[in-house]
Amino acid sequence: MGEIEKNGYPHYMLKEIYEQPEVIKQTLKGRLIPGSEKIVLDDIRLTQRDLDGVYRMVIVACGTSYHAGLAGKYLIERLAGIPVEVEIASEFRYRNPAVDKNSLVIVISQSGETADTLESMRKAKGKGVRAFAITNVAGSTIPSEADYSLYTCAGPEISVASTKAYTSQLTAIYLIALKLAYLKGGIDKDAYRQRVEAVNRLPGQAQRVLDCSQLMKDLAGEHKDIEKVVYLGRGLDYALALEGSLKLKETCYIHSAAYPAGEFRHGPIALVEEGLFVFLLATQDALIDKTLANLKEVKNRGAYVVALAKEGNREIGKLADRVIYIPDTLDEFTSVLAVIPLQLFAYYSAVARGRNVDKPRSLVKSVSD
Ligand code: M6R
């Protein structure tokens, strides 16, 4: 691919990060009609009758798509009340998973060609389970073999580090969770309507989050010599922490780890020493008191804490070293906004370290064998 396709951006990764507001819009287009509360997922042809016998869902994926799947678990369980497990495809594929015709397997894959995900789907189908694919590449193998498929509308993703595909997967999951909630009557009408409105606001809000780009560049530049980073979060913020950590590892080649903040004191807190760089993800109002307690714990031990919080959260500004604010939205939908500063931090850190941003060492875009 030549320079022209980068549209003036120095790397595909940055271009793709900036495309995210439009990608979210495209994934919603024609499916979530502004002013109407109906979610149109005609392309998947999943009806009430299809769901009648489904008591459990299993989401199977790899890498960033797996992280989107973890968010899917929180969302589907919370909104539709259906139990969901999330499995790494390379594990699911080689064991004897207890799935049957009352399960629905959801496979998530940007490329639609990841071998472990494809073989997991085939294994599940071999046991009589129906498969629902969320993919980005039309005509790829996974959706062509699935029973139902939903395409995300991220467009071609060139950078090996996935950014816009992840936000489009999250957006698709928001639609699916809401659709399931509607079909199963999982939430009341007002709560449903409020959530549809919140999802409709996401493209504009994502555009605003991009304003933090310079801030993330400065932060990455100031800390370009750090050798480890810890990401902490609770609930959906834990799923997001995993994605932030993966982005940093693959683009910068430095060690980073993500922990559920409440689990941290069961061992990993021993890692904290003076100056340890910690990203504290605090976008969940329902868990904010617990998360602030974790912030105090690590600050008291000398960590340097960058917090990510919703606008209006003043308390956190008094405790953290730096706070990055995202626009206010319902807890369920913060990840699609909060991931953007984390992606920008990984990107600018990789640039500051002179890494091969779009093609990190040892990685390929699609692990298809
Ligand atoms: O194409 P897929 O979504 O199936 O790919 C899965 C992973 O290989 C992929 O998400 C990988 O982790 C990315 N490099 C992450 O940025």
Q: How far apart are CA 158 and CA 95, in angstroms?
A: 33
The pLDDT of residue 3: 56
User: Could you identify the residue written with the tokens 């459990």?
Assistant: 56
Q: How far apart are CA 60 and CA 179, in angstroms?
A: 20
The pLDDT of residue 297: 96
206 contacts 20 by C-beta, under 8 angstroms: yes
Phi and psi torsions of 252, nearest 5°? -110, -15
Nearest atom, ligand 1, residue 367 CA? 8
The pLDDT of residue 369: 81
65 CA distance to ligand 1 middle (Å): 6
Q: What is the mean pLDDT of each run of 10 residues along the chain (369 residues)?
A: 77 98 95 75 70 89 98 95 96 92 95 97 95 95 94 95 98 93 82 92 98 97 96 98 98 97 93 96 97 96 98 94 97 98 98 95 90
What kind of architecture, by CATH, is found in domain 207-352? 3-Layer(aba) Sandwich (3.40)
232 contacts 298 by C-beta, under 8 angstroms: yes
Please choose from 17, 65, 253, 363 the residue to mutate so as to test ligand 1's pocket, defined by most ligand atoms within 8 A of CB: 65
Please state which CATH number belongs to domain 3-200.
3.40.50.10490
Buried b (16+ CB within 10 A) or exposed e, 318-357: eebeebbbbbbbebbbbbbbbbbbbbbbbbbbbbbeebeb
Number of Cβ atoms within 10 Å of the Cβ of 29? 11
110 CA distance to ligand 1 middle (Å): 7
Please choose from 114, 162, 173 the residue to mutate so as to test ligand 1's pocket, defined by most ligand atoms within 8 A of CB: 162
Q: Is 114 in the pocket of ligand 1 (CB under 6 A)?
A: yes
Identity of residue 197: E
Q: Is 159 in the pocket of ligand 1 (CB under 6 A)?
A: no
Provide CATH 3.40.50.10490 ranges for the chain: 3-200, 207-352
Q: How far apart are CA 79 and CA 169, in angstroms?
A: 17
Question: By percentage, how much of the chain surpasses pLDDT 70?
Answer: 96
Q: Is 169 in the pocket of ligand 1 (CB under 6 A)?
A: no
Nearest atom, ligand 1, residue 163 CA? 16
Q: Is 141 in the pocket of ligand 1 (CB under 6 A)?
A: no
254 contacts 230 by C-beta, under 8 angstroms: no
Environment class of 115 (CB within 10 Å of its CB; exposed 0-12, middle 13-18, buried 19+): middle
User: Could you identify the residue written with the tokens 């995300």?
Assistant: 152
pLDDT tens-digit readout, 279-331: 999 999 999 999 999 999 999 999 999 999 999 998 999 999 999 999 999 99
User: Could you identify the residue written with the tokens 């000398």?
Assistant: 302
Residue with the nearest Cα to atom 7 of ligand 1? 63
